Amino acid sequence: MNDHGLSATAKVILGLLGSRPRSGYEIKAAVDRSTRYFWAASYGQIYPELRRLAEAGLIEGTDAPTGGRRRTVYELTNAGRHALGEWHREPPERFDYRDEAMLKLFFATAVEPAGAAGIARQRAEMAAETAEELRAVEAESPGSDQPGYAVLRFGIDFNEFVADWFERQALAFEEGVPLRKLPRPEAAEIEGER
């Protein structure tokens, strides 16, 4: 395995410090403003990870108090910039997808067949709302084609895809698929996958 030893949180920290020095608080704020939808991070991970990265020599912290409030600003060391470049060049991509609506749909036949359409429609509405929010964000941002903008565009396109897919699925359920006559879920478990 190509183990560079970077945790998920470490990756987003190094990436953000790649453009400029930041405090832990600023990192969290930047994540919430930008990568949140596809790469989240919490204080509970950020602060311990900053300490670990500093100990490993990938970043360096400088005291930069604001009046009487203590504050540490971190920046990349040369080793850190190198590690960031290494990671960026590596091929294998982590990818996680977890969707509760899908799980409910999967169990619908055994639990409450009549509920399937409602579940699908609810999920469609949620996705449509998220797409709407992101479109509003896009409208007030300096539209361009750089990668930083592309990820916002993906959020919109993806949520529209999901909304459309579940809406069509809801219609299919409503238009009389004879659920009672179909095999129960265990028969539908995906076969193969040696």
Partner DNA sequence: CGCGCATATATCGCGCTGATATATATGGCC
Partner DNA sequence: GGCCATATATATCAGCGCGATATATGCGCG
For DNA, the binding residues (CB under 7 A) are: 1, 7-10, 23-26, 28-29, 40-45, 47-49, 51, 66-72, 98
- DSSP label of 66: B
Alpha carbons 26 and 84: distance in angstroms, whole number: 19
- Structural contact between residues 4 and 90, judged by C-beta atoms closer than 8 angstroms: yes
Least CB distance to its own copies at residue 118 (A): 9
Q: Which one, 67 or 183, has the nearer CB to DNA?
A: 67
Nearer to its own copies, 64 or 179 (CB): 179
CB of 7 to DNA, least distance (A): 3
Backbone φ, ψ for residue 81 (5° rounding): -65, -35
CB nearer DNA, residue 12 or residue 120: 12
Both tokens of 190, joined, read 């995906």
Q: How far is the CB of 68 from its own copies (least distance, A)?
A: 28
| Cβ–Cβ < 8 Å for 58, 44 | no
DSSP-assigned beta bridge partners for residue 61: 74
CB of 80 to DNA, least distance (A): 16
Give the residue with the Cβ less far from its own copies, 67 or 117.
117
Binding partner selected for residue 55 from DNA, its own copies, none, CB under the kind-specific 5 to 8 Å limit: none
Half-sphere exposure of 192 (CA within 13 A, CB side): 1
For residue 68, the partner it binds in its own copies, DNA, none, with Cβ less than 5 to 8 A by kind, is DNA
CB of 19 to its own copies, least distance (A): 5
DSSP character string of 126-150: HHHHHHHHHHHHHHTS----SHHHH
Residues in the chain: 194
Task: Report what 41 binds from DNA, its own copies, none; CB cut-off 5-8 Å by kind.
Answer: DNA
